[in-house]
Amino acid sequence: MTLLSIEDLSVVIRRPGRRVAALSGVNLSVEPGEVVGLVGESGGGKSMVARSIVGLLPGGSRTSGRVMFDGADVLTMDAAELEAFRGHGAAICFQNPRGALSPTRTVGRQLVDRLVTHRSLAPAPAREVAAELFESVGIRSPRRRLDAYPHELSGGMAQRVMISLATGCAPGLLIADEPTTGLDVTLTREILNRFRLAANAERRGVLLISHDLASIAEVCDRVVVLYAGTVVESGPGPQVLHEPAHPYTRALLRSVPDIDGRPVTATPGAMPLLTEAPSSCPFAPRCAHATQLCTADLPVAGPLAMDWSAACFHPRSGPLDDSAEPPVPAEIPPAGTVPSAGTATSPGVKESVLRIEDAHVVYRSRFGGGGHHALRGVSLSVAAGERLGVVGESGCGKSTLARVMLGLVQPSRGRVEVAGQALAELRGARLRRLRTRAQLVFQDPIGSLSPRRTVQDAIGEPLRAAGVPAAERASRVARALERMELDPSILGRRPHELSGGQAQRVGIARALVGEPDLIVFDEPTSALDVTVQAQILKVIAEVSGDSSRGSVFISHDLATVRGFCDRVVVLYLGRIVEEGPVEEVFGNPGHPYTRALLSSAPSLGAGYGGPQVELTKDLEEADAAGGCALAPRCPFATDECGEQEQELRPYGASLVACRRAAEIPALIER
């Protein structure tokens, strides 16, 4: 029996002076024990489908069609029926777990209250059940974690708590709305495996909403592709994700960076915001295969094979490397090949724009004690024209390292030089001038912009702070905007009036306008969907290709780092455990931690071709009292590893902090 069946669902949102056709004729089903992926760009209607399923549509919504769950239409339920349905029928895991959890109550109390309300348990037994639920989703020391507040949990731990809240009342359907956005590769794989387990072991239906196609490819039975509120392709996961038929699905997949290093192609244009249900193919303005028929009529879903259909007049099933693929969009240039116009590439050894020597950062505890040692003896340099990638799990010190590079955090020990000048030796105006030579592009593009400033003010702020006259400021802002391919009409807008991609282009323009020597990109694409991400990566590649400027790209997305950077540093608990040319580190990793990261990286293609390595513990549970920091999690650790701290030593063309690096390939084969 089908668990969920969405039949010809249309949603129109009416507001004063505004009308949005959010969904148009959507059909979708989920069986018990099945994981269905719902994919597409932001604004395509994915979250609106989720809200329709649980009866949480925004005010002013008008619906048609049916949302059938276990024989009942959710759209016709009254308030009491909806309350019971949300407890036992369907449950949502939200994108931002900390934002969805109450900050003033412990996570245990929140789960206990849910169990008392929907399962009629007394508080004491409910607490025991809560501890069992925490343990079932991989939370170690579950009884201790019951008394934690959301801000005391890591992103992965908070997401596990959300899964416990969703599964606590044994709903038949789990809806996961972007559950892995912002998580590193090891946590992403762990969280997605939890949903796969819920389907396999508990026979729940799972609707997994995501723009991370490479991640969900490994766990989904079927995939539904949504564009502008319409289903354009639906079918078994392997066919849709490896031999897509609809041009939009193909464009979406070509926008995804992959760990195997294949080129990324940005799709031009943007998704339309429809006021009425489409009367022609909504993807036609962006499609290289569009004909007059596509712009005159609306294609209906036609069968391609068993349980596989596409709404296209010209479906083209086949691998993405098909030679017949039109060369309309431009590929993102590979690292080191994009000098800016008018910039000469100087021969020989290039000058360092950033140098860090033996940097230590300790965050002291407010209550005394030793505090948290965030960085331990980090040394690195970035040359003009070089792109350095910094990778590692959440909590390994990546963001602290970014703050050190920009002089926002003073190291407890060590030396930091920007453009040949030591930050610690400067004060006042001289320090402020030097800081303008190093700029940061933030992870949250809209949150990084002041809500009270216009785009023009935001981009021009570094120039105003540097005392640049108004006329010159306006001219340089206009040039930066043009370089970001943004229309001058947005200069008077404020951040809430921008899309995510527009806001990130504004952030890059703000960083670029002062002609800095160093730009640090801190997870600049993690909050963006894949097509916008590809467009932003193309912009970043062009910006960072200037041979007079160095770039640091901090990310947990290993595929993006491989396609974008020249050299990579692998950070673990504040230490550099491996560094070297990006192709060497990704192709011939020496450190077990690097191998584990690569093994966890999702892939739509060949993926990491080396032997798979899995760490034995979560980062939160690994207690490294001395010796190698990875020893408590490393499957190759010996007693000697736990006693001796490792130093970087040559391994091929890289440097690796592991005494057993040369032995590991043979150990894996045993």
Q: Report pLDDT digits (tens) over 65-103.
A: 999 998 899 999 998 899 888 878 898 887 777 778 899
Handedness of CA 513, 487, 496, 266 (dihedral sign): negative
Give per-residue pLDDT as tens, 504-538.
Answer: 889 999 998 988 899 999 888 876 777 788 888 88
Q: 637 pLDDT exceeds 60?
A: yes
Q: In this structure, are residues 220 and 208 in contact, taking their beta carbons and an 8 Å threshold?
A: yes
Mean pLDDT of all residues in 268-293: 90
pLDDT surpassing 90 at residue 665? no
Question: Which tens digit of pLDDT belongs to each residue from 160-197?
Answer: 888 888 888 878 999 988 887 767 787 788 888 888 98
Instruction: Using pLDDT thresholds of 50, 70 and 90, give the confidence band for residue 341.
Output: very low
The overall longest dimension of the chain from CA atoms, in Å, is 75
> What is d(CA 454, CA 448) in angstroms, rounded to the nearest whole number?
13
Q: Is the pLDDT of residue 342 over 50?
A: no
Provide mean pLDDT across the span 605-610.
72
pLDDT at 338: 38
- pLDDT tens per residue, range 533-587: 888 888 888 888 788 889 999 988 888 898 889 999 999 999 999 999 999 999 9
pTM attached to this predicted model? 0.82
Q: In this structure, which long-range contacts are made by residues 450-457, counting pairs with CB atoms below 8 Å and at least 24 apart in sequence?
A: 450/495, 451/494, 451/495, 451/496, 452/494, 453/494, 454/491, 454/492, 454/493, 454/494, 455/481, 455/490, 455/491, 455/492, 455/493, 455/494, 455/498, 455/506, 456/491, 456/492
Phi and psi at residue 464, to the nearest 5°: -60, -40
For 345, half-sphere exposure in the C-beta direction (CA atoms, 13 angstrom radius) is 11
Q: pLDDT class for 477, splitting at 50, 70, 90?
A: very high
Tokens standing for 554? 């901090």
Q: Where are the domains of the chain?
A: 4-254
Strand partners, 235: 223
Q: Reply yes or no on whether the pLDDT at 293 is more than 90.
A: yes
Report which of residues 160 and 5 the model is more confident about: 5
Q: Tokens 């909504």, residue?
A: 282
Contacts of 502 (CB under 8 A, 6+ apart): 486, 490
Superfamily (CATH H level) for 4-254: P-loop containing nucleotide triphosphate hydrolases (3.40.50.300)
Strands (DSSP E) along 543-665, which ranges?
Answer: 550-554, 567-572, 575-581, 649-651, 654-656
Per-residue pLDDT at 327: 46
Cβ pair 646, 658 in contact under 8 A: yes
129 is written with which tokens? 């059940």
Query: What is the pLDDT, as a whole number, of residue 621?
Result: 55
The amino acid present at 61, given as its one-letter code, is: S
Query: Residue 419 and residue 51: Cα distance in Å, rounded?
Result: 51
Is the pLDDT at 106 greater than 70, yes or no?
A: yes
Looking at the DSSP bridge assignments, the partners of residue 390 are 554, 569
How confident is the model at residue 366, as a pLDDT?
A: 61
Q: Tell me which residue of 235, 210, 215 sits closest to 224, measured CA to CA.
A: 235
Q: Is the Cβ–Cβ distance between 287 and 281 less than 8 Å? A: yes
Task: Give, in degrees to the nearest 5, the angle at Cα 564 between 562 and 569.
Answer: 60
Dihedrals phi, psi of 668, to nearest 5 degrees: -65, -35
pLDDT for res 178: 84
Res 623: pLDDT: 55
The arithmetic mean of pLDDT across residues 388-404, rounded, is: 90
- Tell me: the pLDDT tens digits for 200-240? 988 999 999 988 788 888 899 999 999 999 999 999 998 99
| Alpha carbon distance 564, 334 (integer Å) | 6
Contact 271, 41 (CB under 8 A): yes
User: According to the model, what pLDDT value does residue 332 have?
Assistant: 53
Task: In whole angstroms, give the CA distance from residue 188 to residue 419.
Answer: 37
Of 280-294, 355-369, 415-429, 646-660, the range with the lowest mean pLDDT is 355-369
